[in-house]
Chain A
Amino acid sequence: MTIALAGQPNAGKSTIFNQIAGVHAITANFPGSTVKYTRSQVRIGQETYTCVDLPGTYSLQALDLAEAEARSFLLSGEVDVIVNVVDASLLHRSLEFTLELLELGIPMVVCLNMMDEAARKGMRIDTEKLSELLGVPVVAAVARTGQGIRELFLETVRVGRMRARPSPPKYGRDVEEAVEAIRSSLEDKGATDPLPARFLAIKLLEADEQIGARIEGFSDDVRQLIARVRSRLEAKTGRPAEDQVRMERHGLATHIFEQVVKVARPFSDIRHKVDAIVTHPYLGYLVLALVVYGVFWIVFRAGGLVEGSIVGWFERLRGWVSAASGLPPLISTLVDGLIQGVSGGLGIVIPYLIPFLLALSLLEDVGYLPRAAVLMDAFFHRLGLHGKAIIPFVLGYGCNVPAVMSTRILDTERDRVVAAVLSTLIPCSARTAIVFGLLAFFVGPWAAVFIYALNIVVIAVLGRLASFILPATSPGLILEIPPYRWPSWRTLWLKSWLRIREFLTLAWPLLIAGSLVLSLIGYLRLQPMLDRFFSPLTELLGLPPVVGTTLVFGVLRKELSLLMLIQALGTAQLDTVLSGEQMLTFTVFVVFYFPCVSTFAALVREVGGRWAWLAAGLSLGLATGLAVAVRCLAGIVM
């Protein structure tokens, strides 16, 4: 039996999924945090079932790729029972989608999630009455604490077993006549579509293109009949047929809402007062600046503290090892490589990665991103994008892979391509570790600020150029702004842990292996050969020849570049072997050149190989050009 979690964006589907499936689908407080479905086997009682977490969708008329994914899964015939997750505090708005789902004729349970939020708003919801009006079971829940989740799934399994098909909602007389006329003609023609004929008829009235395509094979008289029925309905009601259907569905939702909800007291919420400042036309930018500064400061302080002590400690350890006489040279080289690999990960990457990822998840879960999108919308317009595109860009600071994936929530192909390609230039947390671990630590925080500022300017210029080459077509911003939510520390930690674990299990072993390989290369005296190969680049950038090899490692994972640098130069006290100017040039190059392999793969998947290669070439050229420019300028200034 397949259970699908469907509902409007940000209703808590992924939170419920995580509760039941025990896996970690990403959750966040903005609409569109899930863009691909996740499937998992779950045990309920004695049996195992398939549970699917779908991207949120406002209606069955999919208007972006994430919504299209949800829709096609719901229409695939694979779903045995739907769990319609509803944000109880937004019941009025959400019921329209619930009514639309009922038309599918698939067994269904409504989960009234976020009952805590609804209570805070002073809403009292009569779940029994709601269940009676909708004709399907309704279970109240608070997914964050797990309250009601067990009951929800027991009920879901029961409904799924009974194969209880819900009866679809009824519209006003004019619409019903039109639906009936289309339905019966579809049935007369012996339609073999697995979807209910009534559902098809309603969608045809709503001018749904994809359903329209499904009946393409039908004879002309069916299509003529549909056109006739639509124009008759339009003549009667004085508005387009699709508007009429939607308005009636909306009216029906209002009617149900009014019968089941009592608002106990008009609510005054301090969150509104907070929001008045955070999204204030001018103060909002001050808050934005403070937030950015705060994240920067925490990462710099917390990371620097740890880096200083750990790296010093490991340097002493290396001193002892090399002083220990009697070890064969091969062994002592390898041990040295091993220590450097371990210390680099522990001392330089992790101290910055942890506070940075935590801070980013905090912003996501509190609900700051959509507010930032509102503030930045006007500026993003100048780049031919709109404020929604800030979501891929901010996610990019964590990791470019989810950033590229999240472009699915954008409205047009053109926006997706531009945002995906540009978001790979955002310094991800791996690059942040380099910026902080190398530049901020040895040269000073202003050097790090310079890198981020340069990065933003470059992206802005490229965006502007892109809007000349590929003119913007996106109509403008339409984005739901969810309420602030108190983050759950567990979720914050789990989300950051996913990325940290990836570093620990994937990048760190790679790093230690790379470190050993470099030791071996040094031992076998192969280094000069490699250096000669990279010399055109290293000479151009004014870097020591041994740095060349380290850049190759950065293609695998960006943080490897820094750690290999330590290995290649033979010390973590990098300021003794590199000048500030060289560190700056190196960082600029590493921040801009080629996205790592995982990002490249994500680009190929999301926007195609052609754009991925273009992005790779562009970033390589950009990195070289900028690094040379910075080198020349730094030579003058520093």
Chain B
Amino acid sequence: MPRSIQLSCIREAGRTREEACTDAMTLFQANSGQKLSVVDVLGGPGLRRRLAQLGILPGTHLQVVRHAAFGGPLLVDVDGRVIAIGKGIAAKVLVRPEE
């Protein structure tokens, strides 16, 4: 791999963790169709890993496609891949609407 693709840190310029969290909500509260970016994933390392594997980790973008009835899961679009996420887990993903 050529060194040209060296990566700089993705840390958001000028925002600290606390600031980033002020306008955040949980994924469960987000409306369908809204473009969101992930602020943080609360919860144990197992859950964080499972979600990270599917591309849900701080800094990535996603969109809620649909909420299910009867307290069922949410459908979330992450880079073109649709993932169903139970509401308990969705309540542990902190997101922020994208400007």
Q: Which residues of A contact B (CB under 8 A)?
A: 58-59, 61, 63, 89-90, 92-93, 96, 102, 121, 132-135, 167-174, 207, 237-239, 242-243, 246-248, 250-252, 255-256, 276, 279-282, 284, 370, 373-375, 377-379, 381, 386-387, 411, 475-481, 483
Of B16, B51, B67, B79, the most chain A CB neighbours within 10 A belong to B79
Contact of B79 among A92, A243, A281 (CB under 8 A): A92
Inside 8 A of B66's CB, which chain A residues have their CB? 276, 279-281
Contact B75 A481 (CB under 8 A): yes
Q: Does B55 contact A (CB under 8 A)?
A: yes
Q: Does B69 contact A (CB under 8 A)?
A: yes
Give B27-72 interface residues, CB cut-off 8 Å to A. 43, 45-55, 57-60, 66-72
How many Å lie between the Cα of A90 and that of B3 in the bound state? Answer: 25
Contact B79 A93 (CB under 8 A): yes
How many Å lie between the Cα of A417 and that of B60 in the bound state? Answer: 35
Q: Does B13 contact A (CB under 8 A)?
A: no
Q: Which residue of B lies closest to A263 (CB)?
A: B80
Contact B7 A279 (CB under 8 A): no
Contact of A237 among B11, B55, B68 (CB under 8 A): B11
How many Å lie between the Cα of A483 and that of B53 in the bound state? Answer: 19
Contact A480 B67 (CB under 8 A): no
Contact A96 B7 (CB under 8 A): no
Would you give the shortest CB distance from A96 to chain B, in whole angstroms?
7
Given contacts A247-B57, A248-B9, A477-B85, 6 further A-B pairs with CB under 8 A are A169-B1, A207-B45, A242-B49, A251-B59, A255-B7, A478-B83
Can you show 26 pairs from A to B with CB atoms below 8 A apart?
Answer: A63-B49, A93-B55, A93-B81, A168-B1, A173-B6, A237-B11, A242-B45, A247-B58, A248-B7, A250-B55, A251-B59, A252-B7, A279-B68, A281-B66, A281-B68, A282-B69, A284-B68, A370-B84, A378-B68, A411-B50, A475-B47, A476-B73, A476-B85, A479-B83, A480-B81, A480-B82
Contact A93 B68 (CB under 8 A): no
Contact B70 A378 (CB under 8 A): yes
How many Å lie between the Cα of A89 and that of B79 in the bound state? Answer: 10
Would you give the shortest CB distance from A295 to chain B, in whole angstroms?
23
Q: Which residue of B lies closest to A171 (CB)?
A: B7
Q: Mark B11-35, 1 if CB is under 8 A from A, else 0.
A: 1000011000000000000000000
Contact A251 B86 (CB under 8 A): no
How many Å lie between the Cα of A373 and that of B17 in the bound state? Answer: 36
Q: Which residue of B lies closest to A388 (CB)?
A: B84
Q: Which residue of A lies closest to B67 (CB)?
A: A281
Q: Which 10 A-B residue pairings sit nearest by Cβ, starting from the closest?
A: A476-B86, A281-B69, A58-B53, A477-B86, A378-B70, A378-B72, A476-B88, A481-B82, A476-B89, A92-B79
Inside 8 A of A169's CB, which chain B residues have their CB? 1, 5
Contact of A59 among B53, B70, B71 (CB under 8 A): B53
Q: Which residue of B lies closest to A87 (CB)?
A: B81
Contact B3 A170 (CB under 8 A): yes
How many Å lie between the Cα of A61 and that of B49 in the bound state? Answer: 8
Q: What bracket does the count of chain B residues touching chain A fall in?
A: 35 or more
Inside 8 A of A377's CB, which chain B residues have their CB? 68, 72-73, 84, 86
Contact A480 B80 (CB under 8 A): no
How many Å lie between the Cα of A377 and that of B87 in the bound state? Answer: 10
Contact B1 A167 (CB under 8 A): yes
Q: Which residue of B lies closest to A373 (CB)?
A: B84
Q: Which residue of A lies closest to B54 (CB)?
A: A58
Contact B81 A90 (CB under 8 A): yes
Would you give the shortest CB distance from B33 to chain A, in whole angstroms?
12
Contact A387 B7 (CB under 8 A): no
Inside 8 A of A370's CB, which chain B residues have their CB? 84
Contact B9 A134 (CB under 8 A): no
Contact B59 A96 (CB under 8 A): no
Q: Which residue of B lies closest to A259 (CB)?
A: B5
Of B1, B47, B49, the most chain A CB neighbours within 10 A belong to B1
How many Å lie between the Cα of A168 and that of B2 in the bound state? Answer: 10
Inside 8 A of B67's CB, which chain A residues have their CB? 281
Contact B89 A475 (CB under 8 A): yes
Q: Which residue of B lies closest to A167 (CB)?
A: B1
Contact of A133 among B5, B9, B17, B86 (CB under 8 A): B5
Inside 8 A of B82's CB, which chain A residues have their CB? 480-481, 483
Q: Which residue of A lies closest to B3 (CB)?
A: A170
Contact A477 B55 (CB under 8 A): no
Contact A481 B83 (CB under 8 A): yes
Contact A378 B57 (CB under 8 A): no
Inside 8 A of A252's CB, which chain B residues have their CB? 5, 7
Inside 8 A of A243's CB, which chain B residues have their CB? 48, 52, 57-58
Q: Which residue of A lies closest to B66 (CB)?
A: A279
Inside 8 A of A374's CB, which chain B residues have their CB? 68, 72-73, 75, 84
Inside 8 A of A284's CB, which chain B residues have their CB? 68
Inside 8 A of B5's CB, which chain A residues have their CB? 133, 169-170, 252, 255-256
Inside 8 A of B58's CB, which chain A residues have their CB? 239, 243, 247
Contact A92 B80 (CB under 8 A): yes
Would you give the shortest CB distance from A584 to chain B, in whole angstroms?
33
How many Å lie between the Cα of A132 and that of B86 in the bound state? Answer: 40
Q: Which residue of B lies closest to A374 (CB)?
A: B84
Contact B84 A246 (CB under 8 A): no
Given contacts A172-B8, A247-B58, A281-B68, contact A478 B3 (CB under 8 A): no
Inside 8 A of B11's CB, which chain A residues have their CB? 237-238
How many Å lie between the Cα of A381 and that of B71 in the bound state? Answer: 10
Inside 8 A of B43's CB, which chain A residues have their CB? 475
Contact B1 A246 (CB under 8 A): no
How many Å lie between the Cα of A243 and that of B41 in the bound state? Answer: 10
Would you give the shortest CB distance from A137 to chain B, in whole angstroms?
14
How many Å lie between the Cα of A167 and that of B60 in the bound state? Answer: 26
Inside 8 A of B52's CB, which chain A residues have their CB? 59, 243, 246
Inside 8 A of A381's CB, which chain B residues have their CB? 71, 86
Contact A89 B80 (CB under 8 A): yes
Would you give the shortest CB distance from A387 to chain B, in whole angstroms?
7
How many Å lie between the Cα of A528 and that of B7 in the bound state? Answer: 83
Q: Which residue of B lies closest to A481 (CB)?
A: B82
Contact B81 A172 (CB under 8 A): no
Contact A386 B83 (CB under 8 A): no
How many Å lie between the Cα of A280 and that of B2 in the bound state? Answer: 47
Would you give the shortest CB distance from B13 to chain A, in whole angstroms?
13
Contact A135 B1 (CB under 8 A): yes
Contact A478 B50 (CB under 8 A): yes
Inside 8 A of B81's CB, which chain A residues have their CB? 90, 93, 480
Would you give the shortest CB distance from B9 to chain A, in whole angstroms?
5
Give B82-99 interface residues, CB cut-off 8 Å to A. 82-89
How many Å lie between the Cα of A206 and that of B52 in the bound state? Answer: 12
How many Å lie between the Cα of A479 and that of B87 in the bound state? Answer: 13
How many Å lie between the Cα of A109 and that of B78 in the bound state? Answer: 26
